[in-house]
Structure 1
Amino acid sequence: MSFIQHLKDKRFFLILYVILLLFVSLIMIVNDDWQLASQNLLYTHIFCFFFASLYVIIGYYYRRSFYFKLKDLIDSKQEDFPVAMPEPQSYEQALYIQLIQKVHANHAEQLQKLVLEKRDHQDFIMSWIHEVKLPIAASHLLMENSEGKTTDFLVDKLEDELTKIDNYVEQALYYSRIDSFSKDYFITDVSLQNMVKNSVKKNAKYFINKRIRFHMDEGEHFVQSDSKWLAFIFNQIITNALKYINEGGDISVVMEEDCKEKRLIIHDTGIGIKQEDLYRVFERGFTGTNGRTHTKSTGMGLYLAKQLALKLGHDISIQSQEDMYTKVIIHFPKMRNHYYFN
C-alpha cells in the first residue's frame, strides 16, 4: 500500500482535522486582537499539523506491513491462503480475516460436496454402462444364434432384453432429473389401484415367467402425490422385488390407514435382506450382499425411490428377514403442505 493510498483511506480524518482547525481559528480571531491572534494561529496550526502528520505517518508505517503481506499473499496465488493470512492489527481487520476464512471454508465444503457428487455420478454411469451392455450383448447373441429358432421365440426374447434396456434408460433419466425435481411435479389425487395395476401390467412377463402370484386389496384408495414420480417409485420397488424373488413366490400390495398417515405396503416372499445390510439399502450405489451374489445391480433403484419420495413429502421404510420376506412401506402423511424445497 502506497502512502497516497493511506492518505486516501484517512480522508475523513483529514477533513475533520481541517474543520476543527477552521473552527479553532475562527474562535481565536473573534476573541483576541489581530496581532495576538495571528501569532496564536501560527503556533496552533504548526503544532496541529505536526501532530496530525505524525499520526498519519506512524499509522502508515504501522499498517503497511499488514497490507504488504496481504498483497504478497494475493500475488502468490497460494491455495491455502486463509491459513497464511497475516496477523490482524485491529479489530476490524480481525473481522475481515474471520469472514474470509469462513467464506473459504464454506467454498471448500461445497467444492468437496460437488467432487463427491461427481464421483458418485461417474460411478453410477460406469455401473449403468456395464448393466445396459448385458441386454445389448444378449440381443446380439440371440441374433447370431437365431438359426433353428422360431420368429416368435426370438421376438419374445428380444422384447425381454429391450424391456431391460428401457428400464435402465428410465432409471438414468430420473437420476439425471432428480436435482431439477421442483420444476417438474404436479400434486393431484392419485389412484393407488390404477398405479399398482399399471406397474404389474408393465412387468407382466416377469410375473408370468417366474410364476409369481400377485395379491392386491380391493377397493379404491387415493393419495395426494405426483402420478408420474409416484409410479416410478412404486415400479422401482416392484422391479427390485421381482429381481430377488424365487420362482413361485408371492407379492402382495396392501393399503393401511390411521389418523396420521396412509401406508402402501409391498410384501414379497423373496430372499430377504441381511440385517447388516438393511439400514444401508437406501444409500446411493449400495448393492449389498444380494446385489453382489444373486445379480448385478447399480444400487440406485431404492436410493432414487427414497429421494423422490422425500421430495414428494412421503417416506419409505423397509423391513426384512433373510430367506423369508421383504416388506417395503411407502408412507403418505396426512397433515402436510405441498411447498417442497430441494
Structure 2
Amino acid sequence: MKGLTLAVFLRDRLLYIVVCMLIIFLSVLMLLLERERYPKLIELNTVFYFVVLALFFVALWLVLDYLRLRPYYKQLLIAIERSDGLFTSAILHEAVTREQKLAARLLEEQHRAYLDELGKYRRQQELHNHFALQWVHHMKTPVSVIDLLSQEALRQTAHTEEEQRHFAASVQEEAERITNGLEMMLYSARIDKFEFDLRIERTALHELARGVLNAHKRLCIRHSIFPRLEGEAWVETDPKWMTFVLNQFVSNAIKYSKNKPGSKSLLLRIMPQANNGTLLSVQDEGIGIPSHDIPRIYDPFFTGENGRTTGESTGMGLYLTKQVCGRLGHALSVLSEAGKGTTFTVSFSPQGIHRLAQKHE
C-alpha cells in the first residue's frame, strides 16, 4: 500500500486548490475591472505580482501542510501493514488536527476495549481448560473404585445378601459421581451461551425442590440425613437452571454431612419476602465452612479447607451456582459456622427478572 505521496496529497485537496484558484481568478478579474475604470491607479505589473504572490502562498501552504501531516499518515501506514494494533499510541502522538486526534482517540478506545474482550475470552478459555483437566482427574477416582469393586466381585464366588447390597450401593454411588461430574461439565460449557438456553416461566418452587430431594433420597438414607421441605411458592425463573442450582446445594449438603456421626437434618424452607418476593434456604447440619474461606467460596477452582479434606471438590459447583443466580437475577447469600452447618439462601424478586430482561434487550 502506497504512503502519502505528494500526488496523493494534492489529489485529496483538489477541491481546496480549485477554490483557491477561483478566488485568485475572481480577485484578478476585479483588479482588471478597476483598472478599466482607473487606468493609472492599477498597473498590469501589480496584477501580475498579485497572482504570483497568491500562487506562492497557496503552494507554501500546501507544502507545509504536507510536511506537517506526513508523519501521521506514515504511522497509519505502518499500523496497517503490521496489523497488530500496537501503534495506536504512536498514531495518537503524531496526530496534528483536532479531527485526527479524535480519530486516534477513538482507535485507542477501541483497541483498549478489544484487549479487554480478548482478556475475558482468554480467561474463560483458561477456566474451561483447567476445569476439563481437573474434571478428568476427579473422574479417574470413581472409575478406579468401580474397577476395584468389580475385581473384588470376580475374586469372591459367593456373597452374602448384605455384601451384595453394599457392593451394588457402592457401584451406584460411584456411577452417580461420574454422572454429576458429566452434568457439571455440561453446565460449565453452557454457561457462556446462557442466553441461548434460557426459558423464564412461572415455576412451582416447592415442586422443583421436592424433585431434587427425591433424586438424592438414596444418598440421604445411606448417610442418615433426613431431608424436609417447608413452604410453597410460585416464582419466575428457569426451571432447568434452578434445578441445577438446587442440585448443587443438596449434593454439597450431603457431601459435607455424610462423614459426621449420627443423624443429620437437611431443611429446604420456602418463605415469602417483602415486595412479592420469595426466599428459598437450604440448611444442613454438616461440617460448615471455615470463616476465612467464606469470601472465596464463589471463586472458580477454590476448594477451600473442606474440599482439600474430603478430596471430592472441583471448586466449580458454587462458582457456576453464583453465575447462574446472577444471570437469572436472583440474589444468593450464605451463612455458615464451622462444625454446625451451612445455609444457602436464594432470593427471588420480580425486580430481578426485570433487570434480566433489560440485560438481554
1:50 matched residue in structure 2: 56
2:192 matched residue in structure 1: 179
Equivalent residues in 2 for 1:1-342 (5 A)? 1-33=4-36, 41-72=47-78, 75=81, 80-85=86-91, 86-147=93-154, 148=156, 150=159, 154-217=167-230, 219-245=231-257, 246-247=260-261, 248-260=263-275, 261-336=277-352, 337=354, 339=357, 341=359
CA contact (8 A) 1:28 1:37 kept: no
Distance in 2 separating the partners of 1:269 and 1:26: 101
Distance in 2 separating the partners of 1:134 and 1:92: 64
Q: Once the 2 structures are TM-superposed, how far is the Cα of residue 106 of structure 1 from its aligned partner?
A: 2.1
Structure 1 residues 75 and 182, CA gap change in structure 2 (3 angstroms): closer
CA contact (8 A) 1:312 1:340 kept: no
CA contact (8 A) 1:318 1:328 kept: yes
Greater mean alpha carbon deviation, residues 164-173 or residues 109-118: 109-118
Greater mean alpha carbon deviation, residues 254-263 or residues 83-92: 83-92
Give deviations 1:85-121, integer Å, cap 9, x for gaps. 4443333333333333222222222222222222122
CA contact (8 A) 1:282 1:306 kept: yes
Partner SS for 1:273: coil
CA contact (8 A) 1:206 1:242 kept: yes
Structure 1 residues 44 and 84, CA gap change in structure 2 (3 angstroms): closer
Q: Once the 2 structures are TM-superposed, how far is the Cα of residue 227 of structure 1 from its aligned partner?
A: 1.1
Distance in 1 separating the partners of 2:167 and 2:348: 43
CA contact (8 A) 1:82 1:101 kept: yes
Greater mean alpha carbon deviation, residues 164-173 or residues 7-16: 7-16
Q: Which amino acid aligns with 2:151?
A: E
The count of residues paired between Structure 1 and Structure 2 equals 341
Q: Once the 2 structures are TM-superposed, how far is the Cα of residue 297 of structure 1 from its aligned partner?
A: 1.0
Distance in 2 separating the partners of 1:321 and 1:275: 7
Distance in 2 separating the partners of 1:71 and 1:221: 64
CA contact (8 A) 1:182 1:340 kept: no
Structure 1 residues 111 and 137, CA gap change in structure 2 (3 angstroms): same
Greater mean alpha carbon deviation, residues 257-266 or residues 143-152: 143-152
Partner SS for 1:271: coil
Cα RMSD (Å):
2.5
Give deviations 1:145-171, integer Å, cap 9, x for gaps. 213265655444332222111111111
Structure 1 residues 50 and 83, CA gap change in structure 2 (3 angstroms): closer
CA contact (8 A) 1:189 1:224 kept: yes
Unaligned runs of 5+ in 1: none
Unaligned runs of 5+ in 2: none
Structure 1 residues 234 and 94, CA gap change in structure 2 (3 angstroms): same
Alignment TM-score, normalising by the size of structure 1: 0.90
Q: Once the 2 structures are TM-superposed, how far is the Cα of residue 177 of structure 1 from its aligned partner?
A: 0.8
CA contact (8 A) 2:331 2:347 kept: yes
Distance in 1 separating the partners of 2:357 and 2:83: 44
Distance in 2 separating the partners of 1:79 and 1:57: 30
Percent of residue pairs identical: 26
Question: Which structure would you say has the larger RCO, counting Cα contacts within 8 Å and 6 or more residues apart?
Answer: 1
